Amino acid sequence: MIAGICEICWPIGLKVMNFPGRRILGIVMVILAFIFSSLFLWLAQRNIPIGTAYAVWTGIGAAGTMLVGIIFWHDPLTLWRVLGVMMIVGGVVLLKVAS
């Protein structure tokens, strides 16, 4: 879970880099988030099959990043985007249950 939450942070850092005067902050966010995300994914793979760990990691990252974009940057909230994220989350849950 921690790896997935860190996975949400590096795309946010990329977005922050677009704001004037925030480029360095964004770069630092990206680097730190990537380091911690990778570290916690590595730790998770000690107890979880690699395919499941990676799917959960990317699923949390994709769904969480979309949610952050909707809340903070007013990204569009459409039925198709919600269905797409629901499919990702459903696939992750199925993989976890199957493990």
Q: What is the mean pLDDT of the chain?
A: 94
Q: Where exactly are the structural domains of the chain?
A: 2-98
How far apart, in whole angstroms, are the C-alpha atoms of residue 81 and residue 49? 28
Render pLDDT for 73-92 as a digit per residue (tens, 0 to 9): 999 999 999 999 999 999 98
What pLDDT does 60 receive? 93
Average pLDDT over residues 14-42: 96
What pLDDT does 57 receive? 92
Among 41-45, 58-62, 94-98, the range scoring the smallest mean pLDDT is: 94-98
